[in-house]
Amino acid sequence: MLTNGLIETEPLELEDIFISIESLPEPPASLTGTFNPADFIPIPDNPVLQVPDGFTVNVFADNVFPESRNPRWLGVTPTGDVLVTSLFQDQILLLRDTDEDGTADFSQIFADAENGLNRPFGMVFTEDFFYVGNTDSIVRYPYNIGDTEINGTGEKIADLPGGGAHFTRNLAISPDDRLFVSIGSGSNAQIEELPRASVQVMNLDGSNQQTFAFGLRNPVGLDFHPTTGQLFTTVNERDALGDDLVPDYFTGLEQDEFYGWPYVYLSPDLPYQFITQENPNFVPETQTPDFVAETQTPDVLFQAHSVPLGLQFYDAETFPEEYHNGAFVGLTAGVNMMLPKLSTAYPVCRRICFQIAVSSNRVHSR
């Protein structure tokens, strides 16, 4: 029941989650194609959510993009307004809480297709510009503090490969003012040319674009550790290998690291015989690139098909100390599993995991 705008909650029993490479099953004898979508269930009249002790939940805004039911990504302006993208309506909605009661009481279209939006996703700000990751480009617009809408069609600073199976393009600006963009693959596991399946980096004007890390099937979330400055990402791994393969993951990235896709997964030592089924003309013995031997193992593995998307490090002071410098990861839950997996994802529910980043190379999941 809603009381003073709050949703009723009950305690969430926290549990540590750990999936190791050693615990993974053997891959199946042949590729499998599972499609098990969840039914759409309306929000009940009196929802009860599970949250950690001491936390509360309220509805900040509802009926957001009711036509498509598809608010996809969030951003925050320098003044604290909330931006919401709609991929298929080519719009960004601005929400403002003018009386600071925790509920948006002002909304307005911030930008739309007339401003040049094309499946907008990632959003970042500098002192003078607002950047948007379209599916096929990065566009920046002049921005003044407090603006409630964008004017004009902006300046395209980079062309990107658009569409395909993974068409969202997230953005992040590093502490040293470099622009990072995540670009997913166009397929499940076919050999593709860069910049597909990579994180790219460039100057804020789009110049000097280069590959930062690659072999990342669909990197989505991007954020920098508050103290180390290291870039982290969430990655959706490949399908068609059964309910428990391949684990999705959350990991820190370094320059020129390779993460396996599509040749191997999670480690250079796990054989992946299906590469030739997805790529019939590929000859592993003579065509496997040398860098595959340097495949990195991600920091944190999730249940396969968890579909981790949102990523945000917590660097404020409101939450208890154990949350400081940790990362929240939103799991969407995929449709490519036959049986529900209650550890970190299942088709009828969405969860938020918390990664306790003790240091840049020691992380565990809760």
Per-residue pLDDT, averaged over 155-177, amounts to 96
| 112 within domain boundaries | yes
pLDDT the model gives residue 176: 96
Grade residue 63 by pLDDT with cuts at 50, 70 and 90. Answer: confident
Distance CA 197, CA 235 (A): 10
Does pLDDT of 364 surpass 60? no
Q: How many domains does the chain contain in total?
A: 1
Distance CA 353, CA 366 (A): 6
Q: Tell me the pLDDT tens digit for each residue of 279-327.
A: 999 998 899 999 999 999 999 999 898 889 999 999 999 998 888 899 9
Does pLDDT of 225 surpass 50? yes
DSSP 8-state class, residue 346: B
Grade residue 115 by pLDDT with cuts at 50, 70 and 90. Answer: very high
The owner of tokens 């400081």 is 324
What mean pLDDT value characterizes the chain?
87
pLDDT the model gives residue 33: 63
Alpha carbon 231 to chain centroid, angstroms: 13
- Long-range contacts for 144-149 (Cβ within 8 Å, ≥24 apart)? 145/78, 145/79, 146/79, 148/81, 148/94, 148/96, 148/108, 148/110, 149/94, 149/108, 149/109, 149/110, 149/111
pLDDT the model gives residue 363: 44
Q: Tell me the pLDDT tens digit for each residue of 241-268.
A: 888 899 999 999 999 999 999 999 999 9
Grade residue 360 by pLDDT with cuts at 50, 70 and 90. Answer: very low
| 136 within domain boundaries | yes
pLDDT the model gives residue 28: 79
Does pLDDT of 177 surpass 80? yes
Does pLDDT of 333 surpass 80? no
Amino acid at 60: F
Grade residue 348 by pLDDT with cuts at 50, 70 and 90. Answer: very low
CATH number of the domain at 18, please: 2.120.10.30
Per-residue pLDDT, averaged over 335-354, amounts to 48
| 1 within domain boundaries | no
| 35 within domain boundaries | yes
The DSSP element (H or E) to which 133 belongs, if any, is strand 129-133
Distance CA 203, CA 196 (A): 19
pLDDT the model gives residue 336: 57
Domain assignment of residue 264, given as a range: 6-365
Grade residue 214 by pLDDT with cuts at 50, 70 and 90. Answer: very high
Tokens of 331: 């799991």
Q: Tell me the pLDDT tens digit for each residue of 10-56.
A: 888 877 778 889 999 888 766 766 655 666 677 778 888 888 888 98
How do beta strands 219-224 and 155-159 pair? Answer: unpaired
Q: Tell me the pLDDT tens digit for each residue of 292-303.
A: 999 999 999 998
> Which percentage of the chain shows pLDDT scores above 70?
85
Q: What is the pTM of this model?
A: 0.90
Does pLDDT of 85 surpass 80? yes
| 278 within domain boundaries | yes
Grade residue 359 by pLDDT with cuts at 50, 70 and 90. Answer: very low
Does pLDDT of 218 surpass 80? yes
Does pLDDT of 338 surpass 80? no
| 310 within domain boundaries | yes
Bigger pLDDT: 71 or 142?
A: 142
| 196 within domain boundaries | yes
pLDDT the model gives residue 6: 80
pLDDT the model gives residue 44: 77
pLDDT the model gives residue 277: 85
Please give, one letter per residue, the 3-state secondary structure of 106-122.
Answer: EEEEEECHHHCCCCCCC
Q: Identify the three-state secondary structure at position 268.
A: coil
Does pLDDT of 354 surpass 70? no
Bigger pLDDT: 8 or 350?
A: 8
